[in-house]
Chains A and B, each alone.
Chain A
Amino acid sequence: MALPRITSPHATGSNRTRKIMQLVLLATLPGVLVLTWLYGFGTLINILWASAVALGCEAAVLRLRRRPVGFFLRDCTAVLTAVLLALALPPYSPWWLTLVATAFAIVFGKQLFGGLGQNPFNPAMIGYVVVLVSFPVEMTNWPAPRGFEAVSPTLGLVEGLQRILGFSAGLPDAWTQATALDVLKVNKSLTIAELWAGNPAFGSVGGYGSEAVNLAFLAGGLFLLYKRVFTWHAPLGMLAALALMSLLFWNGSGSDSNGSPLFHLLSGATMLGAFFIVTDPVSGATSLRGRLIFGAGVGVLAYVIRAWGGYPDGVAFAVLLMNLAAPTIDYYTRPRTYGHSKPERGFKLGD
Chain B
Amino acid sequence: MSLILSAVAALAAICLVAGAILGYAAVRFRVEGDPIVEQINDLLPQTQCGQCGYPGCKPYAEAIANGDKINKCPPGGQATVQALANLLDVEAEPLDAPEGEKPRMVAYIREAECIGCTKCLQACPVDAIVGAAKQMHTVIKDECTGCDLCVEPCPVDCIDMLVVGTSVQNWKWELPLPPGQLIATDREQAA
Question: Interface of A with B (CB < 8 Å)?
Answer: 7, 67-68, 70-72, 115-117
Q: Mark B170-191, 1 if CB is under 8 A from A, else 0.
A: 0001000001101000010011
Name the residue on B nearest A65 (C-beta). Answer: B180
Name the residue on B nearest A7 (C-beta). Answer: B173
User: B180 contacts A116, CB within 8 Å?
Assistant: yes
Give complex CA distance A7, B191 in Å. Answer: 24
Give complex CA distance A119, B182 in Å. Answer: 21
Contacting residues, chain B, for A116 (C-beta < 8 A): 180
Question: Interface of B with A (CB < 8 Å)?
Answer: 173, 179-180, 182, 187, 190-191
User: A71 contacts B182, CB within 8 Å?
Assistant: yes
Contacting residues, chain B, for A68 (C-beta < 8 A): 180, 182, 187, 190
Contacting residues, chain B, for A71 (C-beta < 8 A): 180, 182, 187, 190
**Taking the nearest CB of chain A, how far is it from the CB of B139, in angstroms?**
34
Considering the complex of A and B, which 7 residue pairs feature the smallest CB-CB distances, nearest first? A71-B190, A68-B182, A67-B180, A7-B173, A68-B190, A71-B182, A70-B190
Contacting residues, chain B, for A7 (C-beta < 8 A): 173
Mostly, the B contact residues are loop
Give complex CA distance A276, B178 in Å. Answer: 28
Give complex CA distance A116, B190 in Å. Answer: 17
Contacting residues, chain A, for B187 (C-beta < 8 A): 68, 71
Give complex CA distance A115, B179 in Å. Answer: 11
User: 10 other contacts beyond A70-B190, A115-B180, with CB at 8 A cut-off?
Assistant: A67-B180, A68-B180, A68-B182, A70-B191, A71-B180, A71-B182, A71-B187, A71-B190, A116-B180, A117-B179
Contacting residues, chain B, for A67 (C-beta < 8 A): 180
Give complex CA distance A70, B190 in Å. Answer: 8
Name the residue on B nearest A67 (C-beta). Answer: B180
Q: List 16 A-B contacts (CB under 8 A).
A: A7-B173, A67-B180, A68-B180, A68-B182, A68-B187, A68-B190, A70-B190, A70-B191, A71-B180, A71-B182, A71-B187, A71-B190, A72-B180, A115-B180, A116-B180, A117-B179
Name the residue on B nearest A116 (C-beta). Answer: B180
**Taking the nearest CB of chain A, how far is it from the CB of B85, in angstroms?**
15
